[in-house]
Structure 1
Amino acid sequence: MLKKSLIAAILSIYAASVWADEASLKKAVEAAYPKMSVESVVKTPYAGLYEVYMNGQIVYTDEKFSFLIAEGHLVDSKTKKDVTGDRMADLSKIDFSALPLDQAIKVVKGNGSRKMAVFSDPDCPFCKRLEQNELSNITDVTIYTFLMPLEQLHPDAANKSKAIWCAVDRAKAWQDWALNSQLPKKTANCDVPLEKVATLARKLGVTSTPTIFFADGKRMLGAYPAAEIEKALVPSPKK
């Protein structure tokens, strides 16, 4: 959600001089909203609009910075392409190869040639729905699950995460819990990387579960259908 100050600016009109280039416009936006991080400003091919990527969201303005359009998607009327959605997918990409996979539960299905990572809360109903209804229908994939208990919503999720992580076979323990709601009967004491995963989540801008990342760096929020996940999975290299 955008901050109230930004939402209120949608219909606000500012008396300002003309900024003809992206760099000057970036400075103007930063001056108006000093507490917000403006990561990029790019001119679009639509009616003189400029795309401003700030605080993890896209807003639009003109070269005069006379208005802001927030919480809306720009759609190409001819192609029906969601321009904003596609740009957000690109701007929110991560470096998948940089993920600390030793902090995740590794589940290999089939030949495991395709890769994806999921930030999941053991007590999140949508995470279970993803595992039971969608991921169970996908094969030839390696899934790295980062346990991310949202304790404000699910007070016992951290305890379940510890039990699963410290199981003799944590991959089996995760599958038993996600698919059948069965926790391991015996667990040992071990170091659980919950704080490290929480730090990683903040760095990547992960605020909800499930959040999925694919090998090309793109992210997907929520329990999308298996068919959509299949489309997003990077194909395995041809031999």
Structure 2
Amino acid sequence: MNAFTGGLLALALISLGAQAGEKEIRAKVQAKLGAKVKSITPSPVPGMFEVVAGNSIFYVSEDGNYVLSGNLYSLKDDKLTSLTEKRQDQVRLAAIKPYEASMIVFPAAQQKHVVTVFTDTDCGYCQRLHAHMKQYNDLGITIRYLAFPRAGLSSPAATELESVWCAKDQQAAMNLAKHRQQVPKASCADDPVPEHYQLGRSLNVTGTPSMILDDGTLVPGYLPPERLVKALEKQ
């Protein structure tokens, strides 16, 4: 059981009375989970609130006695649709927006789509993705990188990622790293790698590359240019 799940169980054990209001639920969630509550809104299910805490979504009964963690599905129009995942897409987009200034961007001249990629320098599929950068760009796909050292912040990869992000020419440094060439060591006071890593963890990124499409969909793993553009056009 992880800390978040344990917190949800503890949360469910505290009664708030017959009709808890938003303020009471917010206070309870923050006290028990230690996560900042971003929003509390009525869910599509009568008597349930949707709670976004950190970058996670769960549901709380209006009396505060029950917690639902998992996907909420709609069966309307004979379709099985995950309402939670659709909402999670919006949460992901909102979560990465404050980090746009610290992304390393390889822009498409004729931009049609923007894909944000959590990347590592010693990841074979990340290197393969980067090797096809021109093809992505030619298809109208702008690639934006966030750092995610899979082995943690004390790993050699994290040090190399810091050198890339702190380089005077970030694109050139990224090219060197992805071609397994020596990246000149660099450090900076505003090194964003730790924040990028924690962001990825909060979004349940566990490996690289992990792509966030421009509608917020999280795609774990590598997609070659032609497959990626098809996925983007299906949105």
Taking structure 1 as the reference length, what is the TM-score of the superposition? 0.67
Q: Is the 8 A contact 2:57 2:84 kept in 1?
A: yes
1:88 aligns with 2:84: no
Cα distance in 2 between the residues matched to 1:56 and 1:166: 27
Provide closer, same or farther for how the CA distance between residues 96 and 57 of structure 1 changes in structure 2, counting only shifts above 3 A. Answer: closer
* 1:64 positional shift: 1.3
1:196 aligns with 2:196: no
Q: Is the 8 A contact 1:121 1:150 kept in 2?
A: yes
Cα distance in 2 between the residues matched to 1:137 and 1:171: 17
**Which residue of structure 2 lines up, in the alignment, with residue 120 of structure 1?**
119
Provide closer, same or farther for how the CA distance between residues 41 and 121 of structure 1 changes in structure 2, counting only shifts above 3 A. Answer: same
Cα distance in 2 between the residues matched to 1:163 and 1:20: 50
Provide closer, same or farther for how the CA distance between residues 9 and 69 of structure 1 changes in structure 2, counting only shifts above 3 A. Answer: farther
Render the CA deviation track for 1:20-52: whole Å, top value 9, x for unaligned.
543343334445x16332222211222422212
Provide closer, same or farther for how the CA distance between residues 224 and 66 of structure 1 changes in structure 2, counting only shifts above 3 A. Answer: farther
**Which residue of structure 2 lines up, in the alignment, with residue 22 of structure 1?**
22
1:73 counterpart letter in structure 2:
N
Moved more, 17-26 or 103-112: 103-112
Cα distance in 2 between the residues matched to 1:149 and 1:85: 26
Cα distance in 1 between the residues matched to 2:176 and 2:65: 56
Cα distance in 1 between the residues matched to 2:34 and 2:164: 40
Q: How does 1:1-239 map to 2 (within 5 A)?
A: 2-9=3-10, 14-19=14-19, 21-30=21-30, 33=32, 35-70=34-69, 72-78=70-76, 79-94=79-94, 99-101=99-101, 103-109=102-108, 111-125=110-124, 127-128=126-127, 130-131=129-130, 138=136, 139-152=139-152, 155-158=155-158, 160-161=160-161, 171=171, 174-175=174-175, 178=178, 182-184=179-181, 188=184, 190-191=186-187, 195-202=191-198, 205=202, 208=205, 209-213=208-212, 218=216, 220=218, 222-223=220-221, 225=223, 227=227, 231-232=231-232
Cα distance in 2 between the residues matched to 1:223 and 1:128: 12
Provide closer, same or farther for how the CA distance between residues 60 and 213 of structure 1 changes in structure 2, counting only shifts above 3 A. Answer: same
Q: How many residues align?
A: 225
- Runs (4+) off by over 6 Å: 165-169
Moved more, 75-84 or 143-152: 143-152
Q: Is the 8 A contact 2:151 2:157 kept in 1?
A: yes
Larger radius of gyration between Structure 1 and Structure 2: 1
Structure 2: state its 5+ residue gaps: none
- Determine which structure has the larger helix proportion and give its number: 2
Q: Is the 8 A contact 2:117 2:209 kept in 1?
A: yes
Taking structure 2 as the reference length, what is the TM-score of the superposition? 0.68
Q: Is the 8 A contact 1:44 1:50 kept in 2?
A: yes
Q: Is the 8 A contact 2:126 2:222 kept in 1?
A: no
Provide closer, same or farther for how the CA distance between residues 58 and 228 of structure 1 changes in structure 2, counting only shifts above 3 A. Answer: farther
Query: RMSD of the TM alignment (CA)?
Result: 4.2
* 1:219 positional shift: 5.8
Cα distance in 2 between the residues matched to 1:125 and 1:61: 42
Cα distance in 2 between the residues matched to 1:13 and 1:148: 36
1:94 counterpart letter in structure 2:
A
SS in 2 for 1:94: helix
1:85 counterpart letter in structure 2:
E
